[in-house]
Structure 1
Amino acid sequence: MIPGPIAVEATNKYVLHVRFSDGLSGMLDLSALAGKGIFKVWDENDLFLRPYISETGSISWNEDVDIDAANAYLKISGITFDEWRKRSSYYAAN
């Protein structure tokens, strides 16, 4: 299972700093989503600046707006899911 987030903080407009349970941490630029679809609400009352980790482990802003933590982990780590799976399988076998 991909490690879950344990801390999230908005550092700039559309940029988060996320820390995961395995110690990985890094910046996540979400500016490509800003102003599109459901993410339009980020600009209302500075909602983007108030992220939290939901009960389901997603990175959320309210009940309707969240992003998948597994995808955030892969993006921050700079690897694909297949690469992560191969690494995890290697460590599990040894």
Structure 2
Amino acid sequence: MTTTMETSVALRRGRDLLDPELFERVSEFCAVEYGHEMCTARNVVDQALAFLKVMGDARAFDMTPSRIVDPGWHSFALHTRAYAAWCQE
């Protein structure tokens, strides 16, 4: 038996929370700083952004990112003005 959905569901990604240019800058920083390939750095930053969104929405300030995701958060935080503006938004 096959189940189909009658309405389409848009998949959301962490990267969709940032301007594409800023996402690329943060990902490039992550790649250089942590020695990742760009595809890996993009995934790390993507998941860090998703983590930050969930943490902010849930007001769950006691959450901790995984060891793999933490460099993405750190890379974004080092883009201080953009990070602060994003957090305020």
Q: Please, what TM-score do these two structures have when normalized by structure 1?
A: 0.30
Q: Please, what TM-score do these two structures have when normalized by structure 2?
A: 0.31
Greater share of helix: 2
Greater share of strand: 1
Considering only CA atoms, is the larger Rg found in Structure 1 or Structure 2?
Answer: 2
